[in-house]
Amino acid sequence: MFKKNRIPDRYILVVILGVLISGVGWLGYRSLVEVVGLNTAIDTFYNKPYSIRNDIYEFHHTIEQFEELWIHHHLGTESTPESDSVLSSELLSRLQTIDSLYSGIIEHFKTHELDLNKFEDAFATFSSGIHALKESGEYRIIKYEDHLQLTAAKNKVLNELSPFEKFAQRKAVEIFQQTISERSNLIKQLGIFVFVVILILILTGASIGVVLFKKNQRIEKAQNRFKDFILYAPIPIMIHQDGKVLLTSESWHISCGYTRDELTTIDDWIKKADADKEFKEKKEYINRLYEINDHQDDGIWNVKTKEGLIRKWHFFTGPLDDRTVISIGLDVTEEYEATNKLKLFKSAIDQSPVSIVITDKEGKIEFVNRFFTTITGYTNNEVLGKTPNILKSGEHGRSLYENLWDTITQGEIWSGEMINKSKSGELFWESSTISPIFNEAGTLTNFVAVKEDISERKKMEEE
């Protein structure tokens, strides 16, 4: 009830989360583009001019394999038909690979308009040296001078490839640098975007934080005002939730005498203050209040104070929050007793054997009792707002009524006998005493007339 607001602004949080996810998603996408772009540059580096170097490397490696295979087989090794046949097959396979790579390198030379004459001459010398080793379709046993000749031819071929290797490497680096340069603007844009997104998130978060902070301040301020209102209210007020007392006004404790420490739960209150000793019934009734989302007039309960006095409290309850209600208790002991006295007084007047009439200071009737209706035949509703002149019989002179009015308006009591006429037209004698009524300030406010039917006595006197 009185907790700080825990930012119930779920929609704001969802918006913030959406912005973050969108920003991170876009950032990830652009980063992926960059990675793909850089990979493209690397692929370009390896798969275009740099692939020439791969061909040259493989060409170089295959020649070395050819030479090593041949030397390993023939130096110090006796030749046999089977071994010569295997050697011929393996050397032929290597030679086919060399010829294929040679064709590819020639195409690279032509594509980049490089001088390939020296390379072709060098390869022709190397190829001739290889084929010179063949006798009757098979490679003969190598001699030392053959090895020197073949190695010299091989080195010449590789030397002629060296400038082209450097060209291919330089070309690959140029393309890689060009690719990176082309994407530098995109990288800058990405950096700017990341900066802007971070700045927007910071500003948005700061703005939302300020708004929520101010909102929490307003809520906390309102809650404090509400607390103060409850604490210092001039009437007993209690806020409770599921049987736990959350807050009570000072008036509550002054009226009942119990301290806050003595009334921490509804059970404490009922056990200590229920003068009727109806703990179970009262507990069940209060538990139902937590379920009812409506205001209730709980009626008057007998409350026992800490001093042992029995007071009449009129309770009213209303919902505040989830299973939280506010109860207001008005000490109506004096009013309750006064009401009972008024009821007793009215009952006594109604059952009185004399007519009682109350008028305002102008003489207009405000109240008549039952005996008045019995004697005159007029009901209360028929005479309200009218004057007692409706009972005039015409048997008395004007001076009687003027003397009566002058006497009572001067604040004195008038007593006398007169003949009045009922609603049916029947005449009857009354002995009347009319008294003025003053308020606490001494101002004349009403008149009350007590009239006794003396018709029977008058008849007896006449007889």
Structure tokens given for 182: 């082309």
For the structural domain made of 233-337, what CATH number should be given? 3.30.450.20
Q: What is the pLDDT of residue 169?
A: 57
The closest alpha carbon to 332, from 355, 307, 315, 353, belongs to 315
* Of 20-34, 93-107, 336-350, 355-369, highest mean pLDDT: 355-369
439 pLDDT band (50/70/90 cuts)?
A: very high
Could you report the per-residue pLDDT of 177-234, keeping only the tens digit for each? Answer: 565 565 556 556 666 766 677 777 777 777 777 777 777 788 788 778 888 888 888 8
Domain 352-462: which CATH number of 1.10.10.10, 2.60.40.1220, 3.40.50.300, 3.30.450.20: 3.30.450.20
pLDDT at 405 over 50: yes
Q: What is the pLDDT of residue 6?
A: 47
Q: Average pLDDT over the chain, rounded to whole?
A: 76
φ, ψ at 305 (rounded to 5°):
-75, 170
Q: What is the pLDDT of residue 41?
A: 47
149 pLDDT band (50/70/90 cuts)?
A: low
360 pLDDT band (50/70/90 cuts)?
A: very high
Q: What is the pLDDT of residue 291?
A: 87
Q: In Å, how far are 35, 50, 176 from 43, measured between CA atoms?
A: 12, 10, 9
* Of 26-40, 314-328, 440-454, highest mean pLDDT: 440-454
Which one is predicted more confidently, 460 or 19? Answer: 460
Q: How far apart are CA 255 and CA 434, in angstroms?
A: 44
Parallel, antiparallel, or unpaired for β 427-438 and 414-421? antiparallel
Q: What is the pLDDT of residue 384?
A: 94
DSSP 60-90: HHHHHHHHHHHHHHHTT----HHHHHHHHHH
Could you report the per-residue pLDDT of 91-121, keeping only the tens digit for each? Answer: 666 666 666 766 766 666 666 555 556 566 6
Could you report the per-residue pLDDT of 226-252, keeping only the tens digit for each? Answer: 888 888 888 899 999 999 999 999 999
* Of 181-190, 276-285, 354-363, highest mean pLDDT: 354-363
Q: What is the pLDDT of residue 196?
A: 74
Average pLDDT (406-435) is 94
Could you report the per-residue pLDDT of 11-54, keeping only the tens digit for each? Answer: 566 566 566 666 665 665 555 455 445 455 445 444 444 455 56
pLDDT at 152 over 90: no
Residues 6+ apart with CB under 8 A from 386: 364, 365
Q: What is the pLDDT of residue 98?
A: 67
Q: In Å, how far are 118, 136, 145, 312 from 162, measured between CA atoms?
A: 12, 35, 26, 116
Share of the chain above pLDDT 70, in %: 57
- Amino acid identity, position 244: K
Q: Rg of the chain over CA atoms, in angstroms?
A: 61
Q: Specify whether the CB–CB gap between 346 and 370 falls below 8 A.
A: no
Q: What is the pLDDT of residue 4?
A: 44
H/E element holding 357? strand 355-360
259 pLDDT band (50/70/90 cuts)?
A: very high
Q: What is the pLDDT of residue 431?
A: 94
Q: What is the pLDDT of residue 356?
A: 93
Q: What is the pLDDT of residue 438?
A: 94
Can you give the length of the chain in residues? 463
Which one is predicted more confidently, 149 or 360? Answer: 360
Q: How far apart are CA 158 and CA 63, in angstroms?
A: 10
Average pLDDT (159-177) is 59
5 pLDDT band (50/70/90 cuts)?
A: very low
Q: How far apart are CA 84 and CA 74, in angstroms?
A: 9
Q: What is the pLDDT of residue 170?
A: 61
